[in-house]
């Protein structure tokens, strides 16, 4: 079972963090730092899996990672998972990101974090692998994009809200209020009229 997925850059800044086992936030930060130090100090010509750090479970867990350009993709798994299977899963995930973002880079993970999480959820959910067929994952992402466009997406929400308020049938606000001998003129306060 996959315990966590960590993506960080060459300087140790987290770009995507997903834990499938509960850890308090301060412990998560320590795990990220320890994992970065374990992975980043390794040479490029050594194998891509090693024993888990002391914080994540020691020898009961394995860190399986790939280093692409400026990003480390690290999967922490228990001893039941195949190292080569997880390396292949990382490759599928990165290739899917590459297809969805047309030459993915670190900035895509920063500015499109919701889409990256959606793609990850198509691959892994609850620590279990759901899908390894890249074409199927890309098709699901494209379906989600079409759905968002048909609904106008989040960017259209403020305009739809203003339009809905304009179209509301509210009673007319009185412009002149007469109380005995006092006559009060009410200014037009609505920006929609």
**Given pLDDT bands bounded at 50, 70 and 90, which one contains residue 5?**
very high
H or E stretch at 165: helix 157-166
Task: Report yes or no: 13 and 70 within 8 Å, Cβ to Cβ.
Answer: no
Q: Say how far apart CA 192 and CA 24 lie, in whole Å.
A: 48
Helix or strand holding residue 109 (H, E): helix 106-111
Whether 49 has a pLDDT exceeding 80, the answer reads yes
Give residue 19's pLDDT band: very low, low, confident or very high (50, 70, 90).
very high
For 168-182, what is each residue's pLDDT tens digit?
Answer: 666 666 667 777 777
97: tokens are 């990101």
Asked whether residue 55 carries a pLDDT value surpassing 80, the answer given is: no
**Per-residue pLDDT reduced to its tens digit, 75-134:** 999 988 899 999 999 999 999 999 999 888 899 999 999 999 999 999 999 999 999 999
Residue 14 in tokens: 């987290």
The mean pLDDT value for 143-153 works out to: 82
């Amino acid at each position: 079972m996959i315990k966590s997925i960590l993506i960080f850059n060459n300087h140790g800044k987290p770009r995507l963090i997903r834990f499938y086992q509960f850890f308090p936030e301060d412990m998560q930060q320590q795990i990220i730092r320890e994992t970065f130090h374990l992975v980043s100090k390794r040479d490029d010509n050594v194998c891509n899996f090693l024993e888990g750090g002391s914080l994540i479970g020691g020898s009961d867990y394995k860190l399986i990672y790939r280093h692409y350009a400026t990003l480390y993709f690290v999967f922490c798994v228990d001893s039941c998972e195949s190292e080569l299977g997880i390396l292949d899963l990382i490759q599928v995930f990165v290739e899917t990101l590459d297809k969805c973002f047309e030459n993915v880079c670190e900035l895509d993970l920063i500015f499109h974090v919701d889409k990256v999480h959606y793609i990850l959820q198509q691959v892994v959910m609850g620590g279990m692998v759901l899908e390894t067929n890249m074409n199927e994952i890309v098709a699901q992402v494209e379906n989600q994009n079409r759905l968002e466009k048909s609904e106008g997406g989040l960017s259209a929400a403020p305009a739809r809200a203003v339009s809905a308020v304009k179209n509301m049938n509210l009673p007319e606000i009185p412009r002149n209020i007469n109380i005995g001998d006092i006559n009060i003129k009410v200014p037009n306060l609505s920006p929609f009229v």
